[in-house]
């Protein structure tokens, strides 16, 4: 009983300290990245599960994860070779496609939170959609997507 109470007090103190260590915007960034991480659980891909959350005016307007197009088996890799199938959709593209299909909101001045740094093709789509900044957690095998975004005037942050 006493140990449980002590652990509870320690947890409360840590939460209070964490709240003081980070700005409100940093806490929101962490929350939205955790939401993108939760979206990865929807992916059926074996090699890498990626999630994306698009936020506009402080509200989540779309989520996406890597997978296959509507109507296809939820298998992203070739069964014999393990290579990613060419029609696998990246998380960012999935989130943007959902907005086009269902949202009608648009991404102008939105922020993208992605668990993995965007590839060049997704970076181009994000820039063209009007996203104003991109946050990611894990690095991709190359930096071309981030370089493209920065050259387009869109800041990219690893968090």
DSSP conformation letters of 72-118: S-S--B-TTT-PBPTTPBPHHHHHHHHIIIII----TT-EEEEEE--
What is the pLDDT at residue 55?
A: 98
Q: Do the beta carbons of residue 67 and residue 89 sit within 8 Å?
A: yes
Q: Residue 150 — pLDDT band, cuts 50, 70, 90?
A: very high
What is the pLDDT at residue 38?
A: 97
Q: Do the beta carbons of residue 50 and residue 116 sit within 8 Å?
A: yes
Token readout for 17 is 């300290």
Q: What percent of the chain has pLDDT over 70?
A: 88
The model's pTM is: 0.85
Q: Residue 48 — pLDDT band, cuts 50, 70, 90?
A: very high
Q: Is 92 a catalytic site residue?
A: yes
Cα 52 from chain centroid (whole Å): 3
User: Which of 18, 34, 92, 111 is flagged as catalytic?
Assistant: 92
For 107, other C-beta atoms within 10 Å of its C-beta total 24
d(CA 9, CA 7): 5
């Amino acid at each position: 009983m006493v140990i449980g109470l002590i652990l509870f007090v320690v947890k409360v103190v840590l939460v209070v300290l964490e709240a003081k260590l980070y700005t409100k915007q940093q806490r929101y960034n962490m929350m939205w990245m955790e939401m993108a991480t939760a979206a990865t659980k929807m992916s059926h891909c074996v090699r890498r599960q990626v999630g994306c959350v698009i936020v506009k005016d402080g509200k989540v307007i779309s989520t996406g994860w890597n997978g296959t197009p509507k109507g296809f088996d939820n298998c992203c890799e070739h069964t014999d070779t393990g290579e990613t199938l060419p029609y696998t959709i990246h998380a960012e593209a999935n989130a943007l496609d959902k907005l086009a299909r269902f949202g009608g909101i648009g991404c102008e001045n939105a922020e993208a939170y992605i668990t993995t740094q965007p590839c060049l093709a997704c970076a181009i789509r994000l820039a063209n959609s009007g996203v104003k900044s991109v946050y990611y957690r894990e690095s991709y095998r190359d930096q071309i997507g981030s370089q493209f975004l920065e050259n387009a005037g869109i800041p990219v942050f690893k968090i």
